[in-house]
Amino acid sequence: MHLRQRSDIRASEITPEAVYRQRRNVIKMLGLGAAGLVAGCGSENAPSAAAEAPAAEPKALSVTRKGEYTLTDPPTSYKDATHYNNFYEFGTDKGDPARNSGRFRPTPWSVEIAGHAEVTGKYTLEDLLRPHALEERIYRHRCVEGWSMVIPWNGISLADLLKRFKPTAQAKYVAFTTVNRPSEMPGLRDAVLDWPYREGLRIDEAMHPLAFLATGLYGRELPNQNGAPLRLIVPWKYGFKGIKSIVKIEFVEVMPRTTWNIAAPREYGFYSNVNPDVDHPRWSQRTERRIAGDGLNLFGNRIGTRPFNGYADQVAGLYAGMDLRKYF
């Protein structure tokens, strides 16, 4: 995505989606059901001959708490949220993560908690999650490339998890690392990024009540392509901060190095707060293509991008007094 010259509305990207939606409309008009869809290969991404068998339908989750963070924006379809992805460990095209992640094994899973905290160690995912009730949170999701979605995530508050480990005063930042499994992640063969994928937050950002760790979406476990079994969601920041398939969380004193910042420091800052006033050096961030609804918006709805992705009331105070053009 970011390394290749492309604007968000390239014809080659739009056309397959438009064709797909058009085909779906025709199928609906003709009153054909699922069988017609299968026969017509109804997907944005033409299936390649090498496509693997699709992973089993993700298990339903027992979501016990309705989150307080919900939206009235129409949600993105499950199909789009799970077939239009960025997860470069499985390839750089939007359809690659769904197509190439069938061999990835998210169970068993463990996460190492390290650094400046009173409690550290390696925990199974079950142990990490046990004390927490799963919530649903419907968040806006804005990719730095210029598209956005509205996704009902399931998971837990990041702050609630981090507090259990009692970070010390030296914990100024939190660093996250994605699993590195070349045998299950074919994209790791290409040195498009400095693997493993890494991200970070300032400790007060990580402790903000909006910061979330997702284990599912739409009431089901995360499909591999969305970052199974555990990924970060920071809804006021560009999507690349939302690191997937996390195996390490470390409390650190110095601002950690982050993957996209290493790849192109002029284009991707550490903060990466959604900001329509600060253009990406190669494109404007004023508007976004909202991928939502079903069938009606052939080319997606183009809407204005809002400061902090619409969460300014909640998070602007974290950056009081900072020059957001300098700290982009």
Ligand X SMILES: Nc1nc2c(c(=O)[nH]1)N[C@H]1C(S)=C(S)[C@@H](COP(=O)(O)O)O[C@H]1N2
C-beta of 46: minimal distance to Mo ion in Å?
A: 22
Q: Binding to ligand X by residue 274, rule CB under 6 A? A: no
CB 239 within 8 A of CB 86: yes
φ/ψ of 159, rounded to 5, equals: -60, -45
Q: Work out how close the CB of 145 gets to Mo ion at its nearest, in angstroms, rounded to a whole number.
A: 6
∠ at Cα 201 (288, 152), nearest 5°?
A: 50
Residue pair 173/201 in contact (Cβ under 8 Å)? The answer is yes
Binding to Mo ion (CB under 5 A) within 240-279 occurs at 240
Place of tokens 């299968």: 38
* Choice between 86 and 215, CB closer to ligand X: 86
Nearer to ligand X, 127 or 194 (CB): 194
Half-sphere exposure of 203 (CA within 13 A, CB side): 18
Q: Is 173 in the site for Mo ion (CB under 5 A)?
A: no
Question: Does residue 143 interact with Mo ion by CB under 5 A?
Answer: yes
In the shown chain, the binding pattern of residues 140 to 159 toward ligand X, with x for contact by CB under 6 A and - for none, equals -x-x----------------
CB of 17 to ligand X, least distance (A): 15
Do residues 123 and 110 make contact, with C-beta atoms less than 8 angstroms apart? yes
**Please, what sign has the CA dihedral across residues 266, 159, 217, 176?**
positive
Q: Is 319 in the site for Mo ion (CB under 5 A)?
A: no
Helix (H) or strand (E) holding 114: strand 110-115
- Which 232-261 residues touch ligand X, going by CB under 6 A? 239-240, 242-245
- DSSP, collapsed to helix, strand or coil, labels residue 246 as strand
Asked whether position 197 contacts ligand X by CB under 6 A, the answer is: yes
Strand partners, 302: 289
Q: Which of Mo ion, ligand X, none does residue 85 bind to, with CB < 5 to 8 Å depending on kind?
A: ligand X
Give me 97's structure tokens. Answer: 């993560």
Number of residues that bind ligand X (CB under 6 A): 17
97 binds Mo ion (CB under 5 A): no
Site string for ligand X, 54-93 (x = CB under 6 A): -------------------------------xxxxx----
* CA–CA distance, 181 with 163 (Å, rounded to integer): 29
Encoded tokens for 248: 């390490």
**Cβ nearer to ligand X, comparing 27 with 150:** 150
Residues that bind Mo ion (CB under 5 A): 86, 143, 239-240
Which residue ranges make up the site for ligand X (CB under 6 A)?
85-89, 141, 143, 178, 197, 226-227, 239-240, 242-245
